[in-house]
Structure 1
C-alpha cells in the first residue's frame, strides 16, 4: 500500500464522517491551507479521495473518500 503522510491520514479520518469543502476540512483538521492542499493532491493522485461539487454553489468543490457514496 502507498505511504500516506500524517496529514493525509488526518484528512481521511475527517472524511469518514461526510463530504466537505476545503474550507470545512481546514477547520476540522486545523491544517494550514498549503498543507491541506498538498495532502489533498496526494490523496487524489492515489485515488483515495474524490473531488465533487456543492450543488448549492457549483463554484465550491467538495471532497469525499473514494468508493463512498454520501
Structure 2
C-alpha cells in the first residue's frame, strides 16, 4: 500500500518515503550516504530518488568537495535558504 503525500497528493512508494524522511533534517547527502543510512539496496534507493525527483520533492546539487558525486536535498530546504540570503 502506498501512502499519499499530503503536500501535493502524490502516491509515494515506501522506499521514497524513507528517503524523504531521511532528508527532512535539511542535510544534503550523497547517494552512498543515503543507502548506508537507511539500509536499503542501492537499486531501490535509485528508484526512490527517481520518483522523488519526478515529483519535484528533492533536488540534485553540485558537490564541490567531490565533483563525481551529486548531493540530494529536499527542495523546500533550499528555497528557505535562498529566502534567508535574499532577506539579508
Of 6, 31, 34 in structure 2, the residue corresponding to residue 22 of structure 1 is: 31
TM-score, normalised to structure 1, is 0.93
Count residues with an aligned counterpart. 70
Distance 1:35 1:57 in 2: 24
Q: CA RMSD in A?
A: 1.1
Distance 1:41 1:5 in 2: 11
1:23-57 Cα shifts (integer Å, max 9, x gaps): 00000110101000011001000000101121111
Structure 2 unaligned regions, length at least 5? 1-8, 82-88
Q: How far is 1:16 from its partner?
A: 1.3
Tell me which protein shows more helix as a share of its residues: 2
TM-score, normalised to structure 2, is 0.75
Tell me which protein shows more strand as a share of its residues: 1
Distance 2:55 2:62 in 1: 20
Of 35, 56, 70 in structure 2, the residue corresponding to residue 61 of structure 1 is: 70
Give the 4+ runs in structure 1 shifted more than 6 A.
Answer: none
- Higher Rg of the two aligned structures: 2
Distance 1:65 1:36 in 2: 15
